[in-house]
Chains A and B, each alone.
Chain A
Amino acid sequence: MSELIKQIFEAVVDGNQKVSEAKVKEAIESGLDPTTILNEGLLAAMSEVGKLFEEGEFFVPEMLVSARAMQTGLNVLKPLLVNNETKGSGTVVAGTVQGDLHDIGKNLVCMMLEGAAFEVVDLGADVPPEKFVEAVKSSGAQIVAMSALLTTTMGNMGATIEALKKAGLRDKVKVMVGGAPLSQQYADQIGADGYAPDANKAVGLAKKLIAA
Chain B
Amino acid sequence: MSEQVHDHNGMKGKDLLFAVLRHEKTAAVPWVPFAGVHAGKLKGYKGAELLTDKAKLLESLLAVNELYDPDGQPVLFDLQIEAEILGCKLLWADYAPPSVASHPLADKLEVPTHIPRADEGRLPMVLEVMREMKARVGQKTALYGLVTGPFTLASHLRGTDIFLDSMDHEDFLNDLLAYCTRVCIQVADYYIDAGMDVIAVVDPLVSQVSPRHFKRFLSDPFTRIFDHLRGRGVFSSFFVCGDATKNIEVMCQTNPDSISIDENINMPAAKEITDRYNIAIGGNIPLTTRMLLGNQQDNMKYVVDLLDQVSSHNLILSPGCDMPYDVPVENTIGVMQAVRDPENTRLALAHYQAAEVDTSAVEIPDYAHLSKPLVEVFTLDSETCAACMYMMGAAQRMADELAGKVDLVEYKFTRKENVARVVKMGVKNLPSLYINGELKYSSIIPGNRELVELVRQYIHD
Interface residues of A (CB under 8 A from B): 15, 56-62, 64-65, 68, 99-104, 107, 126, 150-154, 180-183, 185-186
Q: Is the CB of A107 within 8 A of B160?
A: yes
Q: Is the CB of A59 within 8 A of B289?
A: no
Give Cα A107–Cα B325 distance, bound, in whole angstroms.
Answer: 27
A and B contact pairs by CB, cutoff 8 A, 12 listed: A15-B167, A59-B210, A60-B163, A61-B210, A61-B213, A62-B210, A64-B160, A100-B99, A102-B99, A151-B324, A153-B96, A183-B289
Q: Is the CB of A68 within 8 A of B96?
A: no
Q: Is the CB of B160 within 8 A of A150?
A: no
Residues of A within 8 A of B213 (CB): 59, 61
Residue of B nearest to A68 (CB): B164
Residue of B nearest to A61 (CB): B163
A60-B208, A151-B287 known; A180 vs B264 contact (CB < 8 Å): yes
Q: Is the CB of B292 within 8 A of A151?
A: yes
Is B350 located at the chain interface by the 8 A CB criterion? Answer: no
Residues of A within 8 A of B459 (CB): none
Residues of A within 8 A of B324 (CB): 151-152, 181
Distance (whole angstroms) from the CB of A71 to the closest CB of chain B: 13
Residues of A within 8 A of B325 (CB): 151-152
Point out the residue from B245, B264, B288 that lies within 8 Å of A151, measured CB to CB.
B288
Is B166 located at the chain interface by the 8 A CB criterion? Answer: yes
A56-B246, A183-B289, A185-B289 known; A104 vs B101 contact (CB < 8 Å): no
Nearest first, the 7 closest Cβ-Cβ pairs linking A and B are: A151-B324, A152-B96, A61-B163, A60-B208, A152-B95, A101-B99, A181-B288
Q: Is the CB of A101 within 8 A of B101?
A: yes
Give Cα A192–Cα B154 distance, bound, in whole angstroms.
Answer: 35
Residue of A nearest to B246 (CB): A56
Residue of A nearest to B98 (CB): A101
A100-B99, A151-B324 known; A59 vs B292 contact (CB < 8 Å): no
Interface readout for B234-263 with A: 1 if CB under 8 Å, 0 if not? 000000011001100000000000000000
Residues of B within 8 A of A181 (CB): 287-288, 324
Residue of A nearest to B167 (CB): A65
Q: Is the CB of B166 within 8 A of A56?
A: no
Give Cα A104–Cα B204 distance, bound, in whole angstroms.
Answer: 13
Distance (whole angstroms) from the CB of B37 to the closest CB of chain A: 8
Distance (whole angstroms) from the CB of A22 to the closest CB of chain B: 18
Q: Is the CB of B100 within 8 A of A64?
A: no
A59-B208, A60-B208, A60-B209 known; A104 vs B288 contact (CB < 8 Å): no
Give Cα A150–Cα B99 distance, bound, in whole angstroms.
Answer: 10
Q: Is the CB of B245 within 8 A of A61?
A: no
Is B93 located at the chain interface by the 8 A CB criterion? Answer: yes
Q: Is the CB of B288 within 8 A of A103?
A: no
Give Cα A60–Cα B213 distance, bound, in whole angstroms.
Answer: 11
Contacting residues of chain B (205-221) with chain A, CB-CB under 8 angstroms: 208-210, 213
Residues of B within 8 A of A104 (CB): 160, 208
Residue of A nearest to B162 (CB): A61
Residues of B within 8 A of A154 (CB): 288
7 additional contacts (CB under 8 A) given A151-B287, A152-B94:
A56-B245, A57-B210, A59-B213, A151-B326, A152-B93, A153-B93, A183-B288
Give Cα A101–Cα B88 distance, bound, in whole angstroms.
Answer: 13
Residues of B within 8 A of A15 (CB): 167
Q: Is the CB of A101 within 8 A of B91?
A: yes
Give Cα A162–Cα B287 distance, bound, in whole angstroms.
Answer: 25
Is B293 located at the chain interface by the 8 A CB criterion? Answer: yes
Give Cα A103–Cα B160 distance, bound, in whole angstroms.
Answer: 9
Residues of A within 8 A of B289 (CB): 183, 185-186
Residue of A nearest to B96 (CB): A152
Residue of A nearest to B292 (CB): A151
Residues of A within 8 A of B246 (CB): 56
Q: Is the CB of B288 within 8 A of A65?
A: no
Give Cα A58–Cα B210 distance, bound, in whole angstroms.
Answer: 7
Give Cα A104–Cα B207 distance, bound, in whole angstroms.
Answer: 12
Residue of A nearest to B168 (CB): A65
Give Cα A27–Cα B288 distance, bound, in whole angstroms.
Answer: 50
Q: Is the CB of A65 within 8 A of B96?
A: no
Residues of B within 8 A of A65 (CB): 164, 167
Q: Is the CB of B96 within 8 A of A61?
A: no
Residue of A nearest to B47 (CB): A152
Residues of B within 8 A of A186 (CB): 288-289, 293
Residue of B nearest to A185 (CB): B289
Distance (whole angstroms) from the CB of A203 to the closest CB of chain B: 19
Give Cα A60–Cα B241 distance, bound, in whole angstroms.
Answer: 15
Give Cα A56–Cα B244 distance, bound, in whole angstroms.
Answer: 10
Give Cα A12–Cα B20 distance, bound, in whole angstroms.
Answer: 47
Give Cα A126–Cα B96 distance, bound, in whole angstroms.
Answer: 14
Distance (whole angstroms) from the CB of B106 to the closest CB of chain A: 13
Q: Is the CB of A180 within 8 A of B163?
A: no
Point out the residue from B166, B288, B326 that lies within 8 Å of A61, measured CB to CB.
B166
Distance (whole angstroms) from the CB of A154 to the closest CB of chain B: 8
Give Cα A126–Cα B100 distance, bound, in whole angstroms.
Answer: 12
Interface readout for B295-310 with A: 1 if CB under 8 Å, 0 if not? 0000000000000000
Residues of A within 8 A of B208 (CB): 59-60, 104
Q: Is the CB of A64 within 8 A of B163?
A: yes
